[in-house]
Chain A
Amino acid sequence: MTNIVVLAKLVPDLVEELEIAESGTALDMEWLRLIINEFDNHATEQAIILKERSGGEVTVIAPEAEGANEMLYTIAAKGADRLIMLKGDFEDGINNHALARAFAGAAKELKPDLVLTGVQANDDLDGSVGPLVAEYLGMSYVGYISGVSVSGETVVARKEYPGGLIAEMEVTLPAVLGIQAGEEPPRYVAISKVRQMMKTATIDEQEVGDLDASGGAMVQRMYVPEAAERAEMLEGDEEEVAARLVEIFKEAGLV
């Protein structure tokens, strides 16, 4: 039996315009809508597929945030067995070094055979969570995975490389895998099932204590990309535009 742990977090939902907080170093969280990190959603799907195929138990660990309860109940409705929510001083954001230490602390207790998490997230400012967790747990890490099969003490992971290459890598357990895509797209679960889970499932809340954020990058300034010089629009008929283009190329030393 494989003991699988999934690490999942909520990230800013890009359906809304992002705004910078007054501090100028972070997003304004007040109007922000949060959504499960897409890659974590795939990691969850992969974990449930593995459980359905080869047995085992799936535990999901997520840091507290608005909507984290709902996210955990939804994952339970899809087939996860145990839900853990990390509680701590997360309100002003948490860097990935601190988050990875918190994840690793909670995961260690569970003695996982396999840890799955999204390979990246849209708010990863200081490295992705997976390799950091692997470091703190003393496990191997392989990222950009799009399919996993378990056989005994090892897993075979399909790792994606640029240029359309795929490698099948044998990884000795325990290990951490950074999931690029699950074997199947994340499944749909009827709202009635999620509502049922809200009544029957329990979320184990764990205090993480003081967070150690060392090693992470400090944000000095966060800002919307500023438009550089505007493009020059060439007016006139074909002849005029072509003449002007030649002129510009000459000025730039291209012809």
Chain B
Amino acid sequence: MAANTISHFSPFTQEFYQSLFDVADGENIKTCLQCANCSGVCPLGYVMDFPPGRMISWLRAGIFDEVVESDSVWMCVSCYACVEVCPKNIPLTPGLMTRAKEEMLLAGNIPTELQSALEFSQRYGNPLGESPRKRAEWANGLEPEVPIMRKLKRPVDVLWFVGDYPSYHPRVQQTTRAFFKLLNALGIDFGILGPEESSDGDSQRLAGERGLFEVLAEKNGKAFSKYEFGEIITTDPHAYNALKNEYPALGIKYPVRHYTEFLVEHLDGIKALLKGNGEMRVTYHDPCYLGRANSVYDAPRELLEAIPGIELVEMEHNRTTSLCCGGGGGGMWLDGFQWEKSGARLSDWRVKEAADTQADVLAVACPYEPPRFEDAAKTVAGADKLIVKDIIELLADAL
């Protein structure tokens, strides 16, 4: 292994290089072969001044200062495609790319549209700029009443971490209500935090705002510690990733599962309830933070295959090669910026692939996706009849 201190590095480059070793497997960066697989597979690498491989070569040349003067790292959607193909197992997404965004943010070099999502997250505990008191308003009028832990005053088997978009986004609220229906149908003993829940903070962290992530995590940790529950489940792969892989280092340790993992365990009970909802051809999109970041590929497919009448077909890119919807790593709040730079929307590419399978339905398992893919389906040729549904909705429809 090469030495950690390299004499020709600028002080900033030296400090930055050193900080990369703090990430798990961080020292692997020393073994980079410059094969450029990372830059090639990156969905927006072709418009970056510094795709990941070139960032590493500038680092090695000791002139990383030039990289943070460019704004191209804001094209990174933290999709783990680069990590997936790296033959030397370098943690490019959580290490190099995220650290670079942190430096950009500290230097004040951030796109304005990202700024408001971060300010909202800080101020209201969600990036949408909604009132934190209205976090459980999606549940208004539902029967039976949605159990909120503060009022429930008893332990539950399952704490449902609802998340930002499932709580507030009108389209995703439909998925949230469908999940509520499903949990009740299965007789699960659960509760939610309601207004005591804050953003999981994962996408803010991956957009370079580590301090904000820690503040949000601490708030959630405090709320978790007030109640007794067996495990946490969530419909949001980003929240799942934060709770599973990032919160423990902050002392917030709870067992957590994505809903697909949780439901698959109840597959027999679900099958007994499913009547089907007609014949349909369905293709499934692997969300980056369920698939590549956490290797959950089978559970979503098992759920889909359990629904009578559904024929599951695969898109050209699936499982580890799945194409990002463009919402990760702050991409959710950088649509305008990324469009101006690239003239492309990643969700358009994905919807094109889905339409090519002749599927009736594009099934998803992440709250970022229904609004992104539905928008794309409106403009992509041949996709106007494509229906976008979360697996939860397909299950609830078939009850």
**A interface, CB within 8 angstroms of B:** 15-16, 35, 185, 187-195
A190 to B124, Cβ gap below 8 A?
Answer: no
A195 to B123, Cβ gap below 8 A?
Answer: no
A188 to B215, Cβ gap below 8 A?
Answer: no
B130 to A191, Cβ gap below 8 A?
Answer: no
Closest CB in chain B relative to A67 CB, distance in Å: 10
A-B contacts at CB below 8 angstroms, number? 35
Closest CB in chain B relative to A60 CB, distance in Å: 18
Given contacts A188-B105, A193-B106, contact A15 B210 (CB under 8 A): no
B110 to A188, Cβ gap below 8 A?
Answer: yes
CB under 8 Å from chain A, chain B span 71-114: 105-106, 108, 110, 112, 114
Residue of A nearest to B122 (CB): A191
Number of interface residues of B (CB under 8 A): 21
Closest CB in chain A relative to B318 CB, distance in Å: 37
Closest CB in chain A relative to B118 CB, distance in Å: 6
A188 to B118, Cβ gap below 8 A?
Answer: yes
A190 to B105, Cβ gap below 8 A?
Answer: yes
B112-156 vs A, CB cutoff 8 Å, 1 = contact: the mask equals: 101100110011100001110100000000000000000000000
Residues of A close to B209: CB separation below 8 A: 190-191
Residue of A nearest to B215 (CB): A191
Q: Which of A16, A185, A188 has the most CB of B within 10 A?
A: A188
Residue of B nearest to A185 (CB): B112
Residue of B nearest to A192 (CB): B211
Residues of A close to B119: CB separation below 8 A: 188
State in angstroms the CA–CA spacing of A165 and B108 once bound together. 32
State in angstroms the CA–CA spacing of A192 and B119 once bound together. 13
B215 to A189, Cβ gap below 8 A?
Answer: no
Given contacts A15-B124, A15-B129, A15-B131, contact A188 B108 (CB under 8 A): yes
A188 to B211, Cβ gap below 8 A?
Answer: no
A-B pairs, top 8 by smallest CB distance, nearest first, are A191-B211, A192-B211, A188-B115, A191-B212, A15-B131, A190-B106, A16-B131, A190-B105
Residues of B close to A188: CB separation below 8 A: 105, 108, 110, 114-115, 118-119
Residues of B close to A195: CB separation below 8 A: 211
Q: Which of B105, B110, B114 has the most CB of A within 10 A?
A: B105
Closest CB in chain B relative to A195 CB, distance in Å: 6
State in angstroms the CA–CA spacing of A187 and B129 once bound together. 18
What are 6 sample pairs from A and B whose C-beta atoms fall under 8 A apart? A35-B123, A187-B108, A188-B108, A189-B108, A190-B212, A192-B211
Closest CB in chain B relative to A49 CB, distance in Å: 12
Closest CB in chain B relative to A37 CB, distance in Å: 15
Residues of A close to B133: CB separation below 8 A: 16
Residue of A nearest to B121 (CB): A191
Residues of A close to B210: CB separation below 8 A: 192
Additional pairs, 4, CB under 8 Å, beyond known A16-B131, A190-B105: A15-B131, A190-B211, A192-B210, A192-B211
State in angstroms the CA–CA spacing of A185 and B131 once bound together. 23
Residues of B close to A35: CB separation below 8 A: 123
Residue of B nearest to A187 (CB): B108
State in angstroms the CA–CA spacing of A187 and B116 once bound together. 10
Closest CB in chain A relative to B275 CB, distance in Å: 40
- Which one of A15, A189, A192 contacts B130 once the chains associate, using CB atoms below 8 Å? A15
Residues of A close to B114: CB separation below 8 A: 188
State in angstroms the CA–CA spacing of A190 and B208 once bound together. 9
Residues of B close to A190: CB separation below 8 A: 105-106, 209, 211-212
Residue of A nearest to B216 (CB): A191
State in angstroms the CA–CA spacing of A185 and B115 once bound together. 10
State in angstroms the CA–CA spacing of A53 and B122 once bound together. 29
Closest CB in chain B relative to A29 CB, distance in Å: 16
Residue of B nearest to A184 (CB): B112
Residue of B nearest to A194 (CB): B211
State in angstroms the CA–CA spacing of A190 and B109 once bound together. 11
State in angstroms the CA–CA spacing of A194 and B215 once bound together. 12
State in angstroms the CA–CA spacing of A185 and B119 once bound together. 13
Residue of A nearest to B213 (CB): A191
State in angstroms the CA–CA spacing of A191 and B105 once bound together. 10
Residues of A close to B124: CB separation below 8 A: 15
State in angstroms the CA–CA spacing of A191 and B201 once bound together. 13
Closest CB in chain A relative to B206 CB, distance in Å: 15
State in angstroms the CA–CA spacing of A187 and B106 once bound together. 11
State in angstroms the CA–CA spacing of A185 and B211 once bound together. 22
Residues of A close to B106: CB separation below 8 A: 190, 192-193
B18-39 vs A, CB cutoff 8 Å, 1 = contact: the mask equals: 0000000000000000000000
Closest CB in chain A relative to B217 CB, distance in Å: 12
Residues of A close to B105: CB separation below 8 A: 188, 190
State in angstroms the CA–CA spacing of A176 and B129 once bound together. 33
Residue of B nearest to A15 (CB): B131
Residue of B nearest to A13 (CB): B123
Closest CB in chain A relative to B277 CB, distance in Å: 37
Residues of A close to B122: CB separation below 8 A: 191
